[in-house]
Amino acid sequence: MMRPDSQGRKNYLYPNPVKFQKFIDGLAARVDLDIKVAVFGPVSFVFLNKKRNRVKILY
């Protein structure tokens, strides 16, 4: 489902698998360190697990 106010929002797919035991803070830290993108800007980040059958989205 897309958010109605998503105009201008960039979406990033995190390239490496992530353990889903990580909470929001851990995922935000990975984005900040690895991708070097401002976490609190108008962006969304998509994370996949190792099997690539689950998704977590940070927006």
pLDDT tens sequence across 7-21 = 678 888 888 898 888
pLDDT of residue 38: 75
Q: What is the pLDDT of residue 26?
A: 86
Q: What is the pLDDT of residue 54?
A: 93
> 48: exposed, middle or buried (C-beta count within 10 Å: 0-12, 13-18, 19+)?
middle
Domain residue extents for the chain: 10-58
Dihedral sign, Cα of residue 46, residue 6, residue 31, residue 28: negative
Predicted pLDDT of residue 40: 78
Q: Where are the beta strands (DSSP E) in the chain?
A: 10-13, 43-48, 55-58
Pairwise CA distance, residues 31 & 35, whole Å: 5
Question: Which segments of the chain have a pLDDT < 70?
Answer: 1-7
37 phi-psi bin (left φ>0, alpha ψ -120 to 50, beta other): beta
Question: pTM of the entire structure?
Answer: 0.73
